[in-house]
Amino acid sequence: MCLFKLDSPLLLTFARQGVCLSKPQYSFLYRHAAPMGTTAKDEMNKFWAKNARLNRPMSPHITIYQWSVPMMMSITHRGTGVGLSGAISAFAVAALVLPGNYPYYLDLIHSLSIGPILIGLAKFGIAFPVSYHTYNGIRHLYWDVGKGFKIPEVYRTGYTVIGLSIITSIAIAMI
């Protein structure tokens, strides 16, 4: 085992043991050397490429794993996010493509004479994804600063988010 001391840029002090090479067989140095690292992305791509190539089926996961409130809240957060994003994109495309302006289409919906209950339901249907995604988003930011990871805390904040979302959505739908 060798220890090294820094004396000057060009000098080294070695321990008493020297290195003896009987033959310059450097090839097996590479065998003994530690392998070069790969990036995580490379590793993941290799995993998927290999399994796709071998035509392996996916192991059951969501079909067998017991669902829990945190799991459902997480996928709901993703679902509401994707849904809201899709709705915004659809609105934007409609704004570009459809003739006429916004009040025109609003009057069109007005003229359909939908009952107040259905209108309330529709408002709830718009308000709930927005409020759930917002409150759970705050919960995510709370995690991002490193707080609230203990399981009881996860459940407590989770139920708070669900409760607040429902209350807020009902309140907004009644405006």
Partner 1 sequence: NTHLGLELRLLLLYSDHTLKLRRLCFLGRTQVIKAVHGRLLLQPLQRSWTPETHRCCCCRCCYRALFYQSALLARPLVVPNKYQEQPHLLTARIHSSQALYAGSDSKAASLHWTAERVLSILLLAMGPVAYFSPGPVIDYSLAAALTLHGHWGIGQVLTDYVHGDTKIKIANASLFVLSTVTFAGLCYFNYNDVGICKAIALLWSK
Q: Is 117 in the site for partner 1 (CB under 8 A)?
A: no
Total binding residues toward partner 1, as defined by CB under 8 A: 67
CA-CA-CA-CA dihedral for 23, 27, 31, 33, to nearest 10: 80
C-alpha to C-alpha distance for 173 and 81, rounded to whole angstroms: 20
For partner 1, the binding residue among 124, 138, 148, 170 (CB under 8 A) is: 138
Kindly tell me which of 19 and 64 has the beta carbon lying closer to partner 1: 19
Spatial contact of 168 and 122, defined as CB atoms under 8 Å apart: no
Query: Of 44-52, 68-76, 151-159, 162-170, which segment contacts partner 1 by CB under 8 A?
Result: 44-52
Angle, CA of 96, 102 and 106, to the nearest 5°:
135
Nearest to 119 by CA among 107, 129, 132, 109: 109
Catalog residues that contact partner 1 under the rule CB under 8 A.
1-14, 16-26, 28-29, 32-34, 36-39, 44-45, 48-49, 52, 78, 81-82, 84-85, 88-89, 91-96, 101-103, 106, 109-110, 119, 123, 134, 137-138, 140-141, 144, 175
